[in-house]
Amino acid sequence: MSAGTASLVARFPRVQLAHLPTRIEPLRALTQHLGGPTLYIKRDDCTGLALGGNKTRKLEFLLAEALAAGADTIVTVGGAQSNHARQTAAAAAKLGLACVLLLRQNIQPDDRSFLRSGNVLLDKLLHADVRILAVNQEIAEARERVEAELRAAGRKPFFIPIGGATAVGCLGYVAAAEELIAQVDDADIHLDCIVHATGSGSTQAGLLAGLRALGNATPVKGFTTHLDRDEQEELVWSLVTETADLLQSVARPSRADVRANSDYYGGVYGVAQDASIEAVRIMASTEGILLDPIYTGVALAGLIHQIQRGRFGPKDTVLFLHTGGTPGLFGYVERLS
């Protein structure tokens, strides 16, 4: 975005929650360890709200929408160690709103700390009403019951879907695309690809919609955390279309721009795989940066493997978008140690 150009998101209501802009840093030690390509990282783990993460960007727009609707209670859903839920609870607390979290126990963990530490502990410290759902319990049914309960008590609930995956939520990463373009232009960095973990799809969709609206053709590759490639790409494409419509964009992503890889999460959401555990250890030991084994660790495992297979060469430059999730480490103490 050139100087003097209006922001794509300037006309949308927004509350200030995140510490922005987040830094782009070279990963010199990791680059050397892997033998190229040249790697950079964008530190969206450092957005500031309750240990940070990518969801804070989305919540700036989603919570503005909730306040405009007159809501006094936020309801959202996620897995037991949901980073989205933790950041939503923090944003609600900051804005004086109540928060109900419907967290599905999507796996039967070997680690007894899984439901007592990490994001679950932080949710409770943030004074959220945490309700753990059984593996087979329907989220839609639980949501309807909770919202009816709140309305009967005179409350005004506002529902945010898992991951903040709406066109309004995607605006957070449209704004991030503007920020990123300005940073790499100022630093004279030419990116051959942006890689990140993709789950609810709104980070990838917002990035793509923002980049293409600004005439930037950098490929964006998402490494999936719980869906196969075709399902993930369709999910992202639907959000891309809705976001581009909301922006009233002339320059829009094509279906071919939506690229996902589902080879590295292991087929079961929430189960830490060997490759992602190793990726967490590599990033920590080379760069002193902490990932998590379910999201960012999966993305780095995928990137490492693709470098090893020659998909990215020594002359390429790749940006790793760190979407946060560090608190989730503490839900996997036994597995990590």
Q: Could you list the active site residues?
A: 82
What region, left, alpha or beta, does residue 62 occupy, with left being phi > 0 and alpha being psi -120 to 50 degrees?
Answer: alpha
Helices 274-287 and 296-308: angle between axes, nearest 10 degrees:
90
Helices 55-68 and 167-186: angle between axes, nearest 10 degrees:
140
The candidate with the shortest Cα–Cα distance to 53, out of 235, 203, 226, is 203
Cα–Cα distance between 5 and 14 in angstroms, integer?
A: 19
Dihedral (C-alpha) 87, 89, 94, 95: value to the nearest 10 degrees? Answer: 110
Dihedral (C-alpha) 193, 223, 206, 87: value to the nearest 10 degrees? Answer: -130
Query: Within a 10 A sphere around the Cβ of 56, how many other Cβ atoms?
Result: 28
Cα–Cα distance between 5 and 13 in angstroms, integer?
A: 19
Distance of CA 257 to the CA centre of its chain: 19
For residue 197, CA distances in Å to 4, 205, 238, 321, 322 come to: 32, 12, 18, 8, 8
